[in-house]
A and B are shown apart, each in its own frame.
Chain A
Amino acid sequence: MNAIECRDVAVFYGRRAALWGVTCQVPLGCLAAVVGPNGAGKSTFLRAVAGLLPVQRGEIRLFARPIAEVRSRISYMPQRESVDWDFPLTVLDVVLMGRYGRLKLFQRPGRLDYERAWEALRHVGMEQHAHRQLGELSGGQQQRVFLARALAYDADLYLMDEPFAGIDAATEQVLLEVVHELRDAGKTVVVVHHDLQVVASVFEWVMLLNLHMIAAGPVGEVLTAQHLHEAYGGRSALLSEVVQRVALHREVMRRKGA
């Protein structure tokens, strides 16, 4: 069984296509990276998999089920820059949010939830900062808080958007350790990454994206000179033009995809 299976997925923002014809799989229990140039649709892909964006065409299945049925098994970690870190909350408050998915609406976190939150904080080496305000954290510490929150949820599939961007060496070490531990525990981890060197040495599975999925599979097969040229040598003008035209016929497109 695959953790992620995408078949011919297209996502549009208004008339602008962000993803087109994306087909790929991620096997269960592997460490996968999503790479591609800026604006290639990496974050869009991750958000679509997390069920945060409507997919206009094609289908995404997680653990061989529709996303809505397996939300309790996926943990999404947004980009660090996507939130206001000058928010009046403490580190522990944010990590506890990782437990909200295990609670009912309006239910208060109980002792187990606090235990899990503290465990996650210790895991990323942030327990001494638990009661600090978010505004006092460095970039690396912010990333660790997000990581702890994802860990506190205790999911089977972790989707991490650019966790390695702008962090210190110590945090990078923690992140690498944690993703390896998760993989060893049988979890699937998908990380949006921008450093091809790290991807080649750390990850087992790579998805090379630029509007469409150029290649997805084991690192050795995907990161070839040919594929990289296709991904980074500029987006295919022909494909872009065709997709822009397709956007005008969305009704037709939808019927086909259904």
Chain B
Amino acid sequence: MEWGSLFHPVVMGVLVGNALIAVGGALVGTFAVLRREALFGDVLAHAVLPGVGLAYVLSHRKDLPVLVVGALVVALIAAAAVDLLRREPRLREDARLGIVLSVSFGLGIVLLTALQRQYEPQQMGLWRFLFGQAAVVTWADVLLIAAIVALIIGFVALAFKELVALSFDAQFLRALPLPLRWVEMGYRGVLVCAILVGVQSVGALLMVAFLVLPPMAARPWVRHVKSMVIGAVLVSLAAVLMGVWVSLALPRVATGPVIVTAAAVVVVLSHLFAPRRGGLAQLWGRAARALQRWDEHVHKALYRIAEKEHSEPWNRRRLAEYRQQGVSKGTVVMLLWLWLTGSIRWHPGFRWSITEHGLKKAVQVVRRHRLWELYLERFLRVPPERVHTEAELIEHVLSPELEEQLEQMLQYPQHDPHGRPIPPQWGK
């Protein structure tokens, strides 16, 4: 495959054809993922194989339109078979899909191998439906693909409202006086169409990736279905571009699988780096919360010192004596942290005292700790000797609003169950 560059007409044909396929897959796939029936698409993709085999047997032609019609018919039969199996409530959904998928795939292989014995294999062009041949998409194919993808786009735009509502809460919608059968049939139709055009490029085995991966990559970044659809389309286009470009550089590597691999890489990166929902964001959040707990424990120790010695400066060993949970080691690091964050002040001879900023923070933690201890004793009837360990955790999660509610419920108490004073809110 000596193509030269991305702008070579043959390469452009491959690029445009696969881009169209990817857009169709991403559009329909978003709904397949939201409806939690992506595997249903996989069943249809595998049913394409016996479809093209049958079309060839009947017509002795291997033009794409003829094969597409055959595939369409058999895919719809497979879908009907799944529906039929749904009438048997003892069978679970995964079993139903598994049965139809494997049976239709098996039939397809039987047909194709039988045909291969009978005819010259290289004349067949049918095996491309198994593994796909993304690199042999011609401009004639592109026209057909474009027409089908235009159909998909048109339907999704027309029925967007209904498709979204059906994905979210089908039961509610079915109780309404709407002829939803048309929407469901249309959805199934475009699902089959998207799969049909995709299978010849990436193959029956990989087609489900075109449906599932782009919407999955988009999901953690979006807040709305509309942006999820757009995101999925962009991801799929990027994957196609990467796939075609890589297979230009490495001519022996099949384009379709490279596209799928590229999409998978995007999914992983997306789930790592997405804000809030992403893996790194979650790790960071966990680390930040651990730091907060540690910081608050240290401030509690500062408060205990201040309680006993007022504003008298103290040294490192004094702080180490107040070993709280999670503050057992590393008083040097602790002091450095407190000093850097402005909670303590340095005095000559490496002695320290708490600053106003530090005291404010410390008061807050101690208040929450002691209020919660009292709440545990009074309302949840926890024995006084056990309230401290409980409160060690809860003090970090109380919000100012909860703190206020708590104080109100306890009728503005003065002392905790151990008889220690509960400090008033800072500034009061």
Interface residues of A (CB under 8 A from B): 13-14, 16, 47, 50-52, 71-72, 74-78, 82-84, 87-90, 93-94, 97, 100-101, 105-106, 108-109, 133, 149, 153
Contacts and interface: CB of A to CB of B under 8 A. Distances in A.
Q: Which 7 A-B pairs have the closest CB atoms?
A: A101-B176, A14-B89, A71-B177, A76-B175, A50-B175, A78-B171, A72-B177
B15 to A, nearest CB: 30
A82 to B, nearest CB: 6
B161 A100 contact: yes
B7 interface: no
Contact of A88 (B169, B175, B228): B228
A14 B88 contact: yes
Contacts of A16: 89
Interface in B151-166: 158-159, 161-162, 164-165
B323 interface: no
B174 interface: yes
Contacts of B227: 88
A16 B274 CA distance: 46
Nearest to A79: B171
B377 to A, nearest CB: 24
B178 A101 contact: yes
B172 A78 contact: yes
A101 B179 contact: no
Contacts of B109: none
Interface string B76-90: 000000000000111
Given A90-B224, A108-B161, A133-B223, A149 B172 contact: yes
Nearest to A135: B223
Contact of B168 (A89, A101, A106, A109): A89
B225 interface: yes
Contact of A100 (B89, B165, B171, B228): B165
A83 B222 contact: no
A149 B183 CA distance: 21
B162, B183, B227 — which one has the most chain A CB atoms within 10 A of its CB? B162
Contacts of B10: none
| Overall SS of chain A's interface | mixed
Contacts of B89: 13-14, 16
B30 to A, nearest CB: 10
B186 to A, nearest CB: 10
Interface centre among B88, B179, B180, B223, by most A CB within 10 Å?
Answer: B223
Given A71-B177, A100-B176, A78 B169 contact: yes
B225 A89 contact: yes
Contact of B171 (A82, A89, A94): A82
Nearest to A73: B177
Interface in B50-97: 88-90
Contacts of B182: 105
Interface string B160-203: 01101101110111111111101100000000000000000000
B161 A88 contact: no
A101 B177 contact: yes
Contacts of A13: 89
Nearest to B168: A87
B175 A51 contact: yes
A83 B169 contact: yes
Interface in B26-44: 34, 36
B36 to A, nearest CB: 8
Count chain B CB atoms within 10 A of each CB in A13, A76, A77, A97 and give the residue with the most. Answer: A97
A101 B171 CA distance: 13
B224 A106 contact: no
Contacts of A97: 165, 168-169, 172-173
B171 A14 contact: no
A89 B224 contact: yes
> Which interface residue of B36, B167, B171 has the most chain A CB atoms within 10 A?
B171
Contacts of B90: 14
Contacts of B223: 88, 90, 133
A129 B110 CA distance: 57
Contacts of B177: 71-72, 101
B219 interface: yes
A82 B90 CA distance: 21
A135 to B, nearest CB: 9
Given A87-B34, A100-B178, A105-B182, 16 more contacts: A71-B176, A71-B177, A72-B177, A75-B175, A82-B169, A87-B167, A88-B227, A89-B164, A89-B168, A93-B164, A100-B161, A100-B162, A100-B176, A101-B176, A105-B178, A105-B180
Contacts of B167: 87
Nearest to A49: B175
A100 B169 contact: no
16 contacts: A16-B89, A51-B175, A52-B174, A78-B169, A78-B171, A82-B171, A87-B34, A88-B34, A88-B224, A89-B225, A93-B164, A97-B165, A100-B165, A106-B159, A133-B224, A153-B176
A83 B168 contact: yes
A97 B173 CA distance: 8
A76 B171 contact: yes
Contacts of B171: 47, 52, 76, 78, 82
Given A14-B89, A88-B228, A105-B182, A94 B168 contact: yes
